[in-house]
Structure 1
Amino acid sequence: MAAEKKAYPLRISAAVLEAMQRWADDDLRSVNAQIEFVLREALRKQGRLKRETSDPVPDDNTD
């Protein structure tokens, strides 16, 4: 069963967006998938999100 996705508008500085784009390109991900990956990892490190087997790491280039 796939995790439910919700759209959320994000205001982000141009410099941060450009850095995320470069990082996403390096990892062969879309910017959206890279932002979600970074947020998920930060939440896990802080103990605010548990790793779930049904929670795959996005690595697609759909955005």
Structure 2
Amino acid sequence: MGKKKSFVLRLDPDDYASLERWAADEFRSINGQLEWIIHKALKDSGRKSDKKDKSK
């Protein structure tokens, strides 16, 4: 995987707390959990294939 893009994300404090608990339940960091959620949503919507996209 190439270099990752970073950006600022503002979340509602209650949503952040829920995300924090979910990440802890799955032994992930919050960043890792967000990456997993986004990857899964892109894959499930057909916007990303299982193959690594090298065209970035």
What band does the TM-score fall into relative to the shorter chain? Answer: 0.7 to 0.9
| Equivalent residue number for residue 19 of structure 2 | 20
Residue 53 of structure 1 deviates from its aligned partner by 5.2
Structure 1: gaps of 5 or more residues: 55-63
Distance 1:3 1:16 in 2: 29
> RMSD value over aligned CA atoms?
1.5
Normalized per residue, the structure richer in helix is 2
| Equivalent residue number for residue 7 of structure 1 | 6
Which runs of structure 1 show a deviation greater than 4 angstroms over 4 or more consecutive aligned residues? none
| Equivalent residue number for residue 28 of structure 2 | 29
* TM score, norm. by length of structure 2: 0.83
Q: Larger Cα Rg: Structure 1 or Structure 2?
A: 2
Distance 2:6 2:36 in 1: 15
Number of residue pairs aligned between Structure 1 and Structure 2: 53
Instruction: Give the match's secondary structure for 1:34.
Output: helix
Structure 2: gaps of 5 or more residues: none
* TM score, norm. by length of structure 1: 0.74
Task: Give the structure, 1 or 2, with the largest relative contact order (CA under 8 Å, sep 6 or more).
Answer: 1
